[in-house]
Structures are given as C-alpha cells and as structure tokens.
C-alpha cells in the first residue's frame, strides 16, 4: 500500500465533491436492502432451510433450466450477432432494435406473448398440439423458453458490440490470405469473440437464473416441473418467511459469484 | 497521358477501376509488368486505398476490369472474392491475429489453402527466417514491437505465395528507427520474391524512390501523373507531386559521415537507421535544405556540405523559385541535378541566371541517409 502512495495519480480536477451525496445514497439503495436480508437471515437453521426437499428441487430445476437456456442462447445469439454486425441488408437497424425488445419489455408481458403463441389457443401452440400432441406451456421446456426469451438479448448485445469493436479488418486480412468465409468465421471471428462470449454467457445464465415474470405467466409454478428458485421464494414469502429469506440469500450468493466472473470484461469495457 | 507511360503488352496486372461514392469519383487505369513494383502516390482522400481495396477484392467497384496474368479478377459480371485472388496484403497496421503465435499467424495462409499442419509449419519457419524473425516464432503479437510485428505480417503476406503483393502504407505506423530497416527488408523481398507484381500505396515519396519502378500519382480519384519513378519525382508536373517530391537524392555508399558519392564526394547527413559502412545508400534532402551562395564571396561559416556548381535553370514554383544546378568544371559531379528553393528577391539580389557559378550549402542536419 505504501508503494501505491508514491505512484503518480491523476490530479483532482475530476468531479464536484457534492456528487458524493447522491452517489452514496445510490450505493445505499443497493447495499442496505441486502444488509437487511442478511440481518433477517436465520443462520442457525440456514443449512436445513436451503436443503429442504422443495428448496433442493427448485435449485436443481433452476440450474438445469438456466443451463439449457444458456446453451439455447449460444446457439441462437451467436449467429444472430454476426448477422446483425456484418450484414448490410436494408432494415438491419430495425432488426437490431427488435432484438432488444425483450430487454426493455416487462417479463410478464413476454410470458403472456409466449403463452398466446404457444398456448393451446395460440396459432403455433395449436399447430403443435394437433400435429404432434406437443403442449409447451406449464412444462420445464416452457421455463427454458421463457428464460431464453428474456436473456438472449444480453448475449446478442455483448457479442455484437465486440464484433463492431474488433471491426472487419482481421477478417479481411484472413480473406486476403486465402481463407474462405467459413474458415474465417471458425479461425478468426469466433476466437476473437471468445472473451465477450464468456462474459455474455455468464450474464445470460444469471438473467435466466433470476427469471420470474415470464416464467410464472408462461410456465406456472408446479413444484419440480416449473417452480424455479425465484418462484419458490415467492411461494414461501407468505407462509415460510425464514425459508424465503434463506433462499434469497442463496440467490444473492450466486449473483455475486456471477458478477465476480463476468465483471472484468462486461462492465469495464474491452482492452 | 500517352499509352507508352503504361506498361506495354507484357503487363501482368491490368486494372481499370471506376466508382462513385457521394461526391467522390474515382477513375483509375493502371498496369504493372512482370516483376514490377508500381507505387500509387497521393494525398489523403485521393482514393489510393480504395484502388488497393478493389485490387484486393475487399471493395467492389461499380465498373471495374481487373486481370492478373490470364485470370479475370473482376469485370462487369464477375467479382472473384479476396480468398481466390492469390494476393498478399501488408497494411499500415500489422493486424496479426492476436490469438495466434507469430508462427501460427504466418502458417494461416498455407493452412487456409489446404496445407497440412506440418507443411504449413515448415513454410512459416521458412518465411519467418526470410524476414529475420525466426526467433519470434513462439511469441504472441502482444509481445512484439511495432517493427517486429510488421516483419511477421510481411512473412504472413508472403507465405501464401501471392501472385500480386499489395502494400498499403506499410511503414507509416512505424517509428523512425524501425521504418528504414523494414523498408530495406521490403526492398529485398520485392526483388527476390516469387510474386509477379507488386502495388505500393504511399504518401511518402521516399518509399516510391527506394522501392518502386514506376509511380502513379492520384489526386481526387484521378491519375494526374505516371511514369518511371525517377522521372516523375525529379520533374513533377503537378503541385502535389512538386510538394511531396522534387526531393534531391544522391546515391552512393554509406560512410561514417553520410554518403560517399561515386565521384568520391562525401555528403554529410544523418543516418535514418543502422547502416553498415560501404553498403548502398542514398542521401535525401529537400530543396529547401539547400542554400545558394555566390561563388568567390567569402563567408564566415563553412558548413561541411559546400559544393561548387552552376545554375542550370530557374523556374517558379508557387511563391518560390526553384533552382536546378548542374556540375561546374571545378566542382563535384554528384551535384548535377540538385535543386534549391529561393525567394524571388534572393534570386534578384544574387543576380542569378543560368550559367552563374554558385556554391550550394546543404545543411547536414536536414540530409537523411537511407539504405537502398
């Protein structure tokens, strides 16, 4: 620490000191509720509360569906990001805004929209039911779909940003060296995207893990089938507050872990 | 522009490129003969990089006809994609793939063209040693200096054994220590490489002087001058070329003080890089670095570069008069053709006219000595 003091620091022309007041208030808004939750937590029974069978069911389901949603995001978002960043077709800007829709839409609206697409009265849901006997709503698959819907814009945005920052220069050089488009994609585009892909996937996973609104409207809250951790917390909040608080703390721990992994690149910019 | 200025029937590369973008109109016809290096000179925004982009296939012009050997790279209907053109591109930035080692960067071209891992590795080692970068093989691009990275990029461009080598301001981003060494290396490669022709885009006349056989000067998308490098740069016909060129150059061999001309005269100057004594070198200086004094008049200071000469011609160049000197009977022969810039009042004061014996004083600090 002594060495730090001898290093050169930028002079203090930065910002008005008075900004500290709202800044501290803002920080308090984030930190104090969590402190409140920690204070309220019954740490003696904590292990028992988070290992009850319903809690374990919810945790297992949450991890499985969030992982499946993340994989689905990877398969859908990566090609979409490349198309959005590199294609020059007219209307690409409109497409780019449409992709952001789930990011700004209330999740409950997204869930409702999914329900009226894939529900028994929805046109795709009706088609699936009649032709294959497949009913999507109120199944684990519905949970995965709801989570994918809300989280995949995160991956598209971070990948597209990375693609735009990197520019096409490396890809052009690769082409002059004789690499066909597929080789360029495999050996240049994807490797250069890996850092953004990593942090984007972690963000996706986190968003899927915390999904509530779209899930409860589209998939319902059936224990072991569609009741993920956030839904379990919501269910317990009235009847068993201690359990709800303990599970909430569990979700916070997971969130902190996710920030720890993803933060360096996703929040602090590239290079 | 007479037809004779363009490479004749033996040309390997022929291009006729026309495009319009906003208010910019580009219309360029160029060709390069077997083994020839063509430099495209021009100010920023003149369209020279656009021409290179069209040759590389990265840009598609509205109307273009480009042939390389007996292959048509672009015409009204077809546009051969960059990866099928058989070209090598060295840009201002090395653009080494950051996730690959130097050796894997160089092996990228051969691998893309179907060579096996071992074969590509062998080719990469060969080209890395050709550019004196064999010891850098395992380094990541982030661990290389600018000059080292550009050498690896050169090896990478060559490893694909391109028929056409494209160089886009390859020394512009390098610091003053690294540029001359790389320029020498590129010169060697251009003379010995397996490519059939090369096109060099630059705004630095020195690059053209040292590397190119012929130049083409581009201004606002139009070719304003073309011809053999020395002719165009020695007798510029447009303002731009006059500003950037009209540079004096005296060839000889490197010596401790600067350059020793073939007649034994030493031109003192500052070496722009490592130069072994006795190797071919060129002293380059601007006409503005040459002062003219009347012969026979005594002066207090006696700079090292003082040479007797005679006035050959005096021509106006915008606000100044450009004096071209010729060797006098008792002076050194190497000053033949050296030009100096004077104000009209100085010309009047000294009563200069063709045939006047003068002394040329060249400031040694403004003479750059380059390997060639």
Contact status of A191 with chain B (Cβ, < 8 Å): yes
Select the residue of B89, B97, B112 nearest A170 (Cβ to Cβ).
Answer: B97
CB atoms within 10 A of CB A167: 11
Contact A179 B112 (CB under 8 A): yes
Give A180→chain B minimum CA distance, Å: 6
Q: The domain containing residue A132 runs over which residues?
A: 45-266
Residues of A in contact with B140 (CB under 8 A): none
Select the residue of B93, B99, B109 nearest A177 (Cβ to Cβ).
Answer: B109
Contact A170 B95 (CB under 8 A): yes
Contact B95 A173 (CB under 8 A): yes
Give the span between the Cα atoms of A125 and A112, in whole angstroms. Answer: 13
Distances (CA, A) of A227 to A59, A147, A214, B292: 9, 13, 12, 93
In this structure, what DSSP letter does residue B92 have?
S
pTM of the model: 0.73
Select the residue of B58, B93, B112 nearest A178 (Cβ to Cβ).
Answer: B112
What is the edge-to-edge ordering of all strands in the sheet holding B270-271?
A: B266-268, B258-260, B248-254, B280-285, B368-371, B270-271
Contact A180 B83 (CB under 8 A): yes
Give the span between the Cα atoms of B147 and B273, in whole angstroms. Answer: 13
Residues of A in contact with B83 (CB under 8 A): 175-181
Give A147→chain B minimum CA distance, Å: 33
Which residues of chain A carry a pLDDT beneath 70? 1-13, 262-271
The packing angle between helices A20-40 and A241-266, to 10°, is 140
Interval A136-168: pLDDT, tens: 888 999 999 999 999 989 899 989 988 988 888
The pLDDT score that the predictor gives to residue A183 is 93
Contact A176 B83 (CB under 8 A): yes
Contacts of residue A156, defined as CB under 8 A and 6 or more positions apart, other chains included, come to A77, A80, A81, A84, A99
Contact status of A193 with chain B (Cβ, < 8 Å): no
Give the span between the Cα atoms of B7 and B36, in whole angstroms. Answer: 9
Residues of B in contact with A175 (CB under 8 A): 57-58, 81-83
The pLDDT score that the predictor gives to residue B13 is 92
Query: Which CATH number does B3-247 carry?
Result: 3.40.50.300
Which residues of chain B carry a pLDDT beneath 50? 1-7
The pLDDT score that the predictor gives to residue A69 is 96
Whether residue B74 contacts residue B80, with contact meaning beta carbons closer than 8 Å, is answered with: yes
Bridge-based pairing of strands B258-260 and B270-271 is unpaired
The pLDDT score that the predictor gives to residue B243 is 61
The pLDDT score that the predictor gives to residue A188 is 93
Distances (CA, A) of B323 to A268, B186, B224: 60, 34, 24
Contact A177 B156 (CB under 8 A): yes
> The domain that contains A90 carries what CATH number?
1.10.3720.10
B327: part of which helix (H) or strand (E)? none
Give the span between the Cα atoms of B98 and A192, in whole angstroms. Answer: 8
Contact A187 B108 (CB under 8 A): yes
Contact A177 B108 (CB under 8 A): yes
Domain parsing of chain B, residue ranges: 3-247, 249-371
The pLDDT score that the predictor gives to residue B194 is 79
Residue to test with chain A: of B55, B88, B95, B142, most A Cβ within 10 A: B95
CB atoms within 10 A of CB A35: 10
Query: Which CATH number does B249-371 carry?
Result: 2.40.50.100
CB atoms within 10 A of CB B71: 12
Contact A176 B85 (CB under 8 A): yes
Interval A97-149: pLDDT, tens: 899 899 889 999 999 999 999 988 888 888 888 888 888 888 999 999 999 99
The pLDDT score that the predictor gives to residue B328 is 86
Whether residue A196 contacts residue A265, with contact meaning beta carbons closer than 8 Å, is answered with: yes
Under 8 Å CB pairs connecting chains A and B tally to 63
Contacts of residue B231, defined as CB under 8 A and 6 or more positions apart, other chains included, come to none
Give B167→chain A minimum CA distance, Å: 12
Cα dihedral across residues B181, B182, B184, B189: positive or negative: positive
Is there a domain that residue A34 lies in?
no
Contact B83 A191 (CB under 8 A): no
Q: Count how many domains chain A has.
A: 1
Contact A178 B93 (CB under 8 A): no
**Both structure tokens of B308:** 């007797």
**Both structure tokens of B255:** 């010596």
Closest CA to B99 of A195, A172, A175, A78: A195
Contact status of A162 with chain B (Cβ, < 8 Å): no
Contact status of A180 with chain B (Cβ, < 8 Å): yes
Whether residue B215 contacts residue B183, with contact meaning beta carbons closer than 8 Å, is answered with: no
Enter the ipTM.
0.73
Residue to test with chain B: of A88, A167, A173, most B Cβ within 10 A: A173
Contact B97 A174 (CB under 8 A): yes
**Both structure tokens of B235:** 């007798």
Is there a domain that residue A16 lies in?
no
Interval B59-79: pLDDT, tens: 888 888 999 988 999 888 888
């Amino acid at each position: 620490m002594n060495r730090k003091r001898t290093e050169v620091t930028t002079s203090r022309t930065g910002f008005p000191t008075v900004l500290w007041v709202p800044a501290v208030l803002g920080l308090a808004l984030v930190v104090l509720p969590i402190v409140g939750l920690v204070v309220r937590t019954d740490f003696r029974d904590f292990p028992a509360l988070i290992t009850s069978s319903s809690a374990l069911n919810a945790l297992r389901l949450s991890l499985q569906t969030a992982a499946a949603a993340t994989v689905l995001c990877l398969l859908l978002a990566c090609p979409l990001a490349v198309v959005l960043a590199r294609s020059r077709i007219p209307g690409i800007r409109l497409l780019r805004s449409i992709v952001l829709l789930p990011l700004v839409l209330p999740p409950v609206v997204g869930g409702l929209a999914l329900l009226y697409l894939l529900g028994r009265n929805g046109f795709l849901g009706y088609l699936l039911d009649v032709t294959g006997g497949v009913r999507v709503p109120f199944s684990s698959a519905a949970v995965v779909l709801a989570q994918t819907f809300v989280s995949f814009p995160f991956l598209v945005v971070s990948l597209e940003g990375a693609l735009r920052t990197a520019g096409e220069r490396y890809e052009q050089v690769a082409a002059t060296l004789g690499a066909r488009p597929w080789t360029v994609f495999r050996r240049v585009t994807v490797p250069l995207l890996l850092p953004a892909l990593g942090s984007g996937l972690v963000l996706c996973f986190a968003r899927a893990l915390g999904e509530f609104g779209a899930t409860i409207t589209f998939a319902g809250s059936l224990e072991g089938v569609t009741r993920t951790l956030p839904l379990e917390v919501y269910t317990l909040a009235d009847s068993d507050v201690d359990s709800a608080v303990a599970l909430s703390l569990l979700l916070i721990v997971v969130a902190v872990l996710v920030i720890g992994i993803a933060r360096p690149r996703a929040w602090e910019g590239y290079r | 522009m007479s037809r004779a200025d363009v490479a004749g029937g033996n040309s390997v590369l022929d291009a006729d490129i026309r495009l319009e973008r906003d208010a910019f109109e580009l219309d360029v016809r160029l060709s390069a003969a077997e083994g020839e290096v063509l430099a495209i000179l021009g100010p920023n925004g003149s369209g020279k990089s656009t021409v290179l982009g069209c040759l590389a296939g990265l840009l598609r012009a509205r109307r273009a006809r480009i042939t390389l050997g007996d292959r048509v790279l672009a015409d009204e209907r077809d546009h051969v994609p960059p990866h099928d053109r058989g070209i090598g591109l060295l840009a201002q930035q090395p653009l080494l793939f950051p996730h690959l080692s130097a050796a894997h960067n160089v092996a990228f071209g051969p691998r893309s063209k179907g060579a096996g891992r071992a074969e590509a590795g062998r080719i990469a080692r060969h080209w890395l040693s050709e550019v004196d970068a064999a010891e850098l093989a395992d380094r990541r691009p982030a661990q290389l200096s600018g000059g080292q990275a550009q050498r690896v990029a050169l090896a990478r461009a060559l490893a694909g054994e391109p028929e056409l080598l494209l160089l886009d301001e390859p020394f512009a981003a390098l610091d003053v220590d690294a540029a001359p060494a790389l320029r020498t290396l590129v010169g060697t490669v251009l003379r010995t490489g397996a490519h059939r022709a090369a096109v060099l885009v630059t705004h630095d006349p020195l690059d053209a002087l040292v590397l190119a056989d012929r130049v083409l000067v581009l201004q606002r998308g139009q070719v304003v001058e073309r011809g053999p490098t020395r002719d165009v740069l020695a007798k510029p016909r447009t303002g731009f070329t006059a500003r950037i060129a009209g540079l004096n150059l005296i060839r000889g061999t490197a010596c401790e003080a600067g350059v020793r001309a073939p007649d034994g005269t030493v031109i003192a100057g500052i070496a722009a890089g490592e130069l072994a004594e006795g190797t071919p070198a060129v002293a380059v200086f601007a006409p503005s670095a040459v002062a003219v004094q009347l012969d026979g008049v005594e002066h207090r200071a006696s700079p090292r570069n003082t040479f007797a000469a005679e006035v050959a011609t005096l021509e106006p160049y915008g606000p100044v008069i450009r004096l071209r000197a010729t060797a006098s009977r008792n002076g050194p022969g190497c000053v033949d053709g050296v030009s100096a810039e004077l104000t009209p009042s100085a010309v009047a004061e000294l009563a200069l006219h063709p045939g006047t014996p003068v002394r040329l004083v060249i400031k040694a600090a403004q003479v750059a000595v380059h390997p060639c």
